[in-house]
């Protein structure tokens, strides 16, 4: 009973949400201490508290395939199927990076292609360091944007096979997505805009100078002639 998907859950990609995790890994999660002690009876609201305690991401490790807390909570979310609004709040959470990554992982597994690009691509601008546990149980340093790039382009993340994701270009051509503008492109646009403003200011200054220049030139020439006349009188 404790491992069953909630009754009113919708099928995801044509299957039970929990089946998105391979059976052997799913079984190891059900048998794990973390699942039995920390995930039992969790609701969508309580998952947030557990997610705030996460210290690293990862899938399974060791010869006997032990699941990480991150993977256990991913399966738990697939089991209870939180509302989309809750997942979006996970992703937008800037204070707890592992809460953000848990939401991103769930969105990638269950969301439409449009939603995946819409909600995950902004996280390319998050360069914070995170810890990841590999298959040998060792910890490695990576960054939030690397993890997001893996979700959008890799076939497997945290030992879970990711559903096929429609290419961004196809969605753009179908006018379902606007072309993506990277942070670098935004900075370049700002620089170009600033340069254009400077050029406009220079043009205005030049116009003002050019209008006043003839009068200034005439005045200079007039005083020059007076000086020359005085010089000739005295010398």
- pLDDT per position as a tens digit, 175-217: 999 998 766 655 555 656 566 666 777 676 666 655 655 544 5
In this predicted model, what pLDDT tens digit does every residue of 79-123 receive, in sequence order? Answer: 999 999 999 999 999 999 999 999 999 999 999 999 999 999 999
pLDDT at 191: 57
The better pLDDT of the pair 75, 221 is held by 75
State residue 234's pLDDT score.
Answer: 57
DSSP structural state of residue 129: E
Query: What is the full DSSP assignment across 29-82?
Result: HHHSHHHHHHSTT--HHHHHHHHHT---EE-EETTTTEEPHHHHHHHHHHHH--
For residues 234 and 35, the model is more confident at: 35
Average pLDDT, the chain: 87
Query: What is the rounded average pLDDT of the residues 58-75?
Result: 96
CA distance 34 to 12: 25
pLDDT for 123 equals: 98
Under the banding of pLDDT at 50, 70 and 90, the label for residue 227 is low
What are the CB-based long-range contacts (under 8 Å, 24+) for 169-172? 171/113, 171/114, 171/117
Q: Are 128 and 97 in contact (CB under 8 A)?
A: yes
Burial class of residue 163 in the structure, from the number of CB atoms within 10 Å of its CB (0-12 exposed, 13-18 middle, 19+ buried): middle
End-to-end CA gap in the chain: 118
Q: What is the pLDDT of residue 235?
A: 53
pLDDT given for residue 93 in this prediction: 96
Residues 6+ apart with CB under 8 A from 157: 59, 105, 108, 147, 150, 151
- The dihedral through the CA atoms of 53, 57, 62, 64 has a sign that is positive
Question: Is residue 218 pLDDT above 60, yes or no?
Answer: no
Q: How many CA atoms lie within 13 A of 101 on its CB side?
A: 32
Report the pLDDT value the prediction gives residue 215, as an integer from 0 to 100.
47
């Amino acid at each position: 009973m404790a491992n069953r998907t909630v009754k009113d859950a919708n099928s995801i990609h044509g299957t039970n949400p929990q089946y998105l995790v391979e059976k052997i890994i799913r079984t190891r999660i059900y048998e794990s201490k973390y699942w039995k002690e920390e995930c039992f009876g969790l609701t969508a609201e309580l998952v947030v508290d557990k997610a705030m305690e996460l210290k690293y991401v990862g899938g399974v490790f060791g010869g006997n395939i032990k699941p990480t807390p991150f993977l256990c909570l991913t399966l738990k979310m697939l089991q209870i199927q939180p509302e989309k609004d809750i997942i979006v709040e996970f992703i937008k959470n800037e204070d707890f990076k592992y809460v953000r990554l848990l939401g991103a992982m769930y969105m990638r597994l269950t969301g439409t292609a449009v939603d995946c690009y819409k909600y995950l691509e902004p996280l390319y601008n998050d360069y914070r360091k995170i810890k990841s546990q590999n298959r040998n149980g060792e910890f490695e340093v990576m960054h939030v944007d690397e993890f997001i790039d893996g979700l959008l382009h890799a076939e497997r993340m945290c030992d879970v096979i990711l559903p096929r994701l429609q290419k961004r270009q196809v969605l753009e051509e179908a006018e379902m997505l606007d072309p993506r503008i990277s942070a670098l492109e935004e900075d370049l646009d700002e620089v170009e805009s600033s340069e254009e403003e400077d050029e406009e200011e220079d043009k205005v200054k030049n116009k003002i100078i050019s209008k006043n220049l003839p009068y200034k030139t005439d005045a200079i020439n007039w005083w020059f002639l007076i000086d020359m006349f005085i010089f000739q009188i005295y010398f």
